[in-house]
Amino acid sequence: MRKCAMDYYVMTSAALSLFTLFYNMWSSEWYPILSIVLLVDLFINLVAIVLLREFWRTPYSFNRTLISLGFNFVEYTGWFAGLYLHFDSLRCNGEAIKEPLSAYYFSIVTAVTVGFGDIVPTISGRNFVIIEILCSLLFLAIIVTYIMGNLNIPKASK
């Protein structure tokens, strides 16, 4: 039951990050608080996956956990995209970006550390970029640790 509740929570959080982004709720004064609280919660749960691996024993489904990690990626890039918009941190050809899809694009490009340069952060927006890149490196480290730690798990006999 706990695992189903966690799956539901992960999918709901990812949907919430995109809902608040694409329905322009990022302009609300409560948005930074909500997004930061949920980002901290997300990364605490991700670190728990690695550090509490022995406590939780084998995952219900290795593939299910990987899919859940994909939803986590969608969630945290969504929250960062909203933060970029809320604090007016992105520019394209000198003009402020206010459209959610462009901010989400920038967040994904930043998260995978590609950095095309078509959209650039403001001076203050660079702080968010630094934090997002650090989160992305942590996320990658968690995924690699999780995968490597579960390679030697014996298959359950039928």
Q: Give the pTM.
A: 0.89
Query: How much is the pLDDT for 155?
Result: 58
Average pLDDT, the chain: 88
Average the pLDDT over 94-113 and give the result.
96
pLDDT above 70 as % of the chain: 90
**Torsion sign, CA atoms 41, 42, 45, 47:** negative
Domain parsing of the chain, residue ranges:
2-149
Q: How far apart are CA 40 and CA 17, in angstroms?
A: 14
Q: How far apart are CA 105 and CA 26, in angstroms?
A: 16
Average the pLDDT over 64-68 and give the result.
84
Q: How far apart are CA 153 and CA 83, in angstroms?
A: 39
Query: How much is the pLDDT for 102?
Result: 97
Query: How much is the pLDDT for 154?
Result: 59
Residue 57 pLDDT grade (very low, low, confident, very high; cuts 50, 70, 90)? low
Query: How much is the pLDDT for 47?
Result: 84
Assigned fold of 2-149: Helix Hairpins (1.10.287)
Render pLDDT for 26-37 as a digit per residue (tens, 0 to 9): 999 999 999 999
Q: How far apart are CA 52 and CA 145, in angstroms?
A: 12
Higher model confidence: residue 154 or residue 77? 77
Higher model confidence: residue 60 or residue 98? 98
Query: How much is the pLDDT for 60?
Result: 60
